[in-house]
Structure 1
Amino acid sequence: MAELGTRLGEYEDAQFILEKCKQLNPGYIPARYDLVDVLSKRFHYARALSEAEEVLTSEPDNLQFRMLRANLLLQIGETETALAEYKTIQRQDETNTRVSLTLGHAYKTLGRIDDAVNAYRHAYRLKRDFGDAYWSLANLKTYRFTDDELVAMATEEAKATTETDDRIHLCFALGKAHEDRADHASAFACYARGNHLRQSILGYQPDSVTYEVDHQIEHCSQSLFSAKLGSGCAAEDPIFIVGLPRAGSTLLEQILASHSQVEGTTELPDIMAIASRLNGRQAAEEEDRYPANLMELTPAELSGLGESYMASTMVHRREGKTRFIDKMPNNFRHIGLIHLILPNARIIDARRDPMDCGFSVFRQLFAQGQDFSYGLGHIGRYYRDYVRLMDHWDTVLPGRVLRVQHEDVIDDLEAQVRRILQHCGLPFEQACVDFHQTRRAIRTPSSEQVRRPINRDGAGVWKNFEPWLAPLKNALAGQDGP
């Protein structure tokens, strides 16, 4: 029953059943293992880690259990500890491709790029069609494939026996390899093929996002915020950076995390988890309860939700600093909720030229959560919905969100740094201007780009692909298509 619940995404039910399994038979390890997985899927990382420790204690030499624990450590920012564990596992199982891949991810997070490259290369040598290993090299952004690697990727991608997931990863990696060689036609063909395969699996429905934005605009009104004035948790700790992926949010995070009072965490799922809880369980034909039910919440309930957010994010705060960053881009869809439960939190909208941002999204293969990104027309429509909702927040919550244009940061870094720090109530520190000198773990695709001084490398890249970008241009102009 728990396995069925997990497959259907009913994680709350699955957790309840697995906890009952543990109660009835604490020695039944498969159920305990699955409980860790479900807790992780529900973003209960502290509890998941505790359960994983118990499972590992039962079988200390079980490499699968050690891998489970190491993955959780990496998830909560204990990167050095996770790295040591991956290395131990690899020494005992040198042919495990997944261990080599994840070891590379840990090295990348720490900025140890040569080690990451070696780990990824080791992974694809173990499995020649291991698309994720090639894509991980491409996703370093600074890596350049050799001619032999390009031939190997093209050969594996063309084989009928290559699994779809590997083929998708290989297509995106090939796109990057061809783009680095200025073969833009071949690069776009590979990106397009990878995106088409990914979209055919996901079946993204753009109407669902438009519907959600419509409901946020309808229910998160000036009257709602006036009625709830003074509610919420008073904590000033969080700084939310929202927007679209590939819009420069990692750069803003690196700038802020270079401040002595601010800790960078990662893209935290906690606000979206709260929104999901407010929506509750519903039948397919039922209307969403959230955000309409925000008006029904009492001041005590709103404060409780804010306090719940503060408690659940604590596992990611390792440095004891007074402020921390939540860089989940999709939180732009929940700014009304954030305002109600955390009225003193700061919110920054990372904005970038729509063509630059849109095409950069199209070139990126995301691990999860950005289903709109695999069609040029879908990207353009999503961008329009995003701007429409941000305009609404500016109307009903004037001055609440600071918009930071990526191009302005490139043109006048210090002025924008001062503006950002002022919005966050932080004193100016030169380290924020010298952000590229800050050494910290970074778990997003732009990690290596923000470890370099400010530059224009990503500006105007879309122009090299302009002959194929009409669907994006049309969608941004209001003409929808796939």
Structure 2
Amino acid sequence: MPPTSLSPAARQWLSEAGRALSEGRADLAEQPLRRVLAEAPGFANALFLYGIACQMRGDSITAAEYLRKAAKQRPDDPSTLTTLGGALYDSGATDEAFVYLRRATELAPKQASTWYNLGKALKLHWQLDEAADALQRALNLDERHIAARNTLADIFTIRGNIPDAVAQYRKSLALQPDQAQAWQGLANLKTEPLTLADAGQIHHILQNQQLSNDDRISLGFSLYKALEDQRDYAGAFQALLEANALKRQLVQWDAVAGHGHVDAIANVFRDPSPVPLDPVLGHEVIFIASLPRSGSTLVEHILASHPLVEGANEISDLSQVLDEESKRRGKEFPHWVPDASAEDWARLGKDYLARTARWRTKRPYFTDKGLLNWQWVGAIRAMLPGAKIINCHRDPVETCFACYRQLFSEGIHFSYDLEDLASYYNDYQCLSDYWQERYPDQMLDLAYETLVQEPEAQIRRLLAFCQLPFDVACLSPHQTQREVHSTASAAQVRQPIRGDTARSPRYQDFLKPLIQRLNR
């Protein structure tokens, strides 16, 4: 039977752990919690707090293990069930997660936090109707629940309802003027101008020495946008420089290792792949291979405007297939490629198609614009020889600067330093040129600048390559109503195709180190 009381020492340890967690210091909470659990292994509150500590440091699997134990003792405690649901979702057990998250709302229907946590998970799972309903219920219960409001604004952005997104972000800022995530969301729309007053307010908030690094970074990127909108390009670049420098300190990126990985990919695919067992396997798939901020969202939106094509956005299925094969073989990709037979590649291709079947329930073709597709072209050709591949690229300086001024939600760690960006782009260009030369008939070379200057000619060329009949809707993609999961581009693709989007000329003097390193 679980203990109902603790020794004075254990109570003190539990108190220390609670204080540490309230300050965001999971590292300081774990040792006292281990001491409590050593004395009382089944003590529910210690199990609960230890689960929270594990979740805070990113170990969702261990977090779920301890939170399950706590939930067995507290089956009707909404806080425990909500926290368990979050850990389960993060660990990949989504079905079980929603059971606990929904149960928490049943137990506490008037508690805004339970509805918010359900809505957040549903949004991440792309069940946007139900997510919006849950988030609105949270706001009906507590209009000052800023996280719920910002998440609802994100959903409006994804769906192209930009006025309502702006209204929600502005409401968050009216309630909490220093709310960094609301400023970032507003700036990230890109189509909504920020004012001189906005710039002054953000600058004032940044004077607070108690800001967290994450908030300081978000506000720095927002200040860049506000100052650029005032045509203060020197001030804007300085804000961008400081925000990127701080972000770079917090992420891990090894340009030398990245270059070696790209070289290894090119080397293993120099020898011909085995003759495919089924040369049309994967004919349903249109891969878009590009760097971020290179026009890939526009290309996908054009294709998804066609009645036969579903836009799947940046899906992770190909990455999962290759990762699982690497684990099975005990070798990292691409080092197992020389050992793969035609049967192996066909198996992997069929696995990918099975995983992505959800994208073909309404339309026969779908797009995959995973951010590492440019590295995996050789594998795509071997796995799915019938697939189409679009090599979408943009001016090197524009691409790198577009990445540099974007605060990404996760990954893309090469983008916070101009030297890292130049190195990454050079690797991308070398490998893409290699693929284009090796697979000229299976890979369409599509330049963003040509697309926006000659939209009809290039769109017809794109559709012909994909063996799709011409459809006039593809010429007006901004009128297409669909969910665009890349919030960095979601507002921009709702506008007519424009040829005047270049930003780097305004910053030429500041970008000289980048320009000098590109294509060296």
Structure 2-normalised TM-score?
0.81
The 1:31–1:300 alpha-carbon spacing in structure 2 relative to 1, beyond 3 Å, is farther
Aligned length: 466
Structure number with greater CO (CA < 8 Å, separation at least 6) is: 1
Match of 1:243 in 2: 290
User: Does 2:102 correspond to 1:56?
Assistant: yes
User: Does 2:176 correspond to 1:127?
Assistant: yes
C-alpha deviation, 1:15, in angstroms? 9.4
User: Does 2:262 correspond to 1:262?
Assistant: no
Match of 2:161 in 1: 112
Q: Is the 8 A contact 1:222 1:396 kept in 2?
A: no
- SS where residue 148 of structure 2 aligns? helix
Pick one of 421, 428, 435 that aligns with 1:393: 435
Match of 1:230 in 2: 277
C-alpha deviation, 1:138, in angstroms? 0.9
Q: Is the 8 A contact 2:276 2:342 kept in 1?
A: no
User: Does 2:424 correspond to 1:377?
Assistant: no
Match of 1:218 in 2: 267
User: Does 2:339 correspond to 1:293?
Assistant: no
Supply the distance in 1 between the matched residues of 2:328 and 2:81 (Cα, whole angstroms): 25
User: Does 2:289 correspond to 1:253?
Assistant: no
Match of 2:124 in 1: 75
Match of 1:325 in 2: 367
User: Does 2:200 correspond to 1:200?
Assistant: no
One-letter amino acid matched to 1:234: L
Supply the distance in 1 between the matched residues of 2:74 and 2:351 (Cα, whole angstroms): 29
C-alpha deviation, 1:27, in angstroms? 4.9
Q: Matches of residues 52-201 of structure 1 in structure 2 within 5 Å?
A: 52-57=98-103, 59-60=105-106, 61=109, 63-201=112-250
Q: Is the 8 A contact 2:285 2:368 kept in 1?
A: yes
User: Does 2:454 correspond to 1:412?
Assistant: yes
C-alpha deviation, 1:79, in angstroms? 2.2
Q: Is the 8 A contact 1:377 1:474 kept in 2?
A: no
C-alpha deviation, 1:355, in angstroms? 1.1
Match of 1:465 in 2: 507
Residues 293-344 of structure 1, C-alpha deviation per residue, up to 9 Å, x if partnerless?
Answer: 13334544433333332333345x3861111112222221122222222222
Match of 1:432 in 2: 474
Kindly, what percent of the aligned residue pairs are identical?
29
**Which runs of 5 or more residues in structure 1 are unaligned?**
none
The 1:340–1:5 alpha-carbon spacing in structure 2 relative to 1, beyond 3 Å, is farther
The 1:471–1:401 alpha-carbon spacing in structure 2 relative to 1, beyond 3 Å, is same
One-letter amino acid matched to 1:303: A
Q: Is the 8 A contact 1:233 1:304 kept in 2?
A: no
One-letter amino acid matched to 1:267: E
Match of 1:363 in 2: 405
C-alpha deviation, 1:198, in angstroms? 0.5
The 1:233–1:308 alpha-carbon spacing in structure 2 relative to 1, beyond 3 Å, is farther
Pick one of 308, 313, 331 that aligns with 2:351: 308
Q: Is the 8 A contact 2:313 2:367 kept in 1?
A: yes
Match of 1:449 in 2: 492
The 1:70–1:16 alpha-carbon spacing in structure 2 relative to 1, beyond 3 Å, is closer
C-alpha deviation, 1:91, in angstroms? 1.1
- SS where residue 212 of structure 1 aligns? helix
Structure 1-normalised TM-score?
0.87
Task: Give the superposed CA RMSD.
Answer: 3.1
Supply the distance in 1 between the matched residues of 2:484 and 2:390 (Cα, whole angstroms): 19
One-letter amino acid matched to 1:154: H
Residues 58-88 of structure 1, C-alpha deviation per residue, up to 9 Å, x if partnerless?
Answer: 5523644433432333234332332122111
Supply the distance in 1 between the matched residues of 2:269 and 2:83 (Cα, whole angstroms): 38
One-letter amino acid matched to 2:333: Y
One-letter amino acid matched to 1:251: L
- SS where residue 403 of structure 1 aligns? strand
Q: Is the 8 A contact 2:266 2:431 kept in 1?
A: yes
**Which runs of 5 or more residues in structure 2 are unaligned?**
1-49
Residues 412-436 of structure 1, C-alpha deviation per residue, up to 9 Å, x if partnerless?
Answer: 1111111111121111111101212
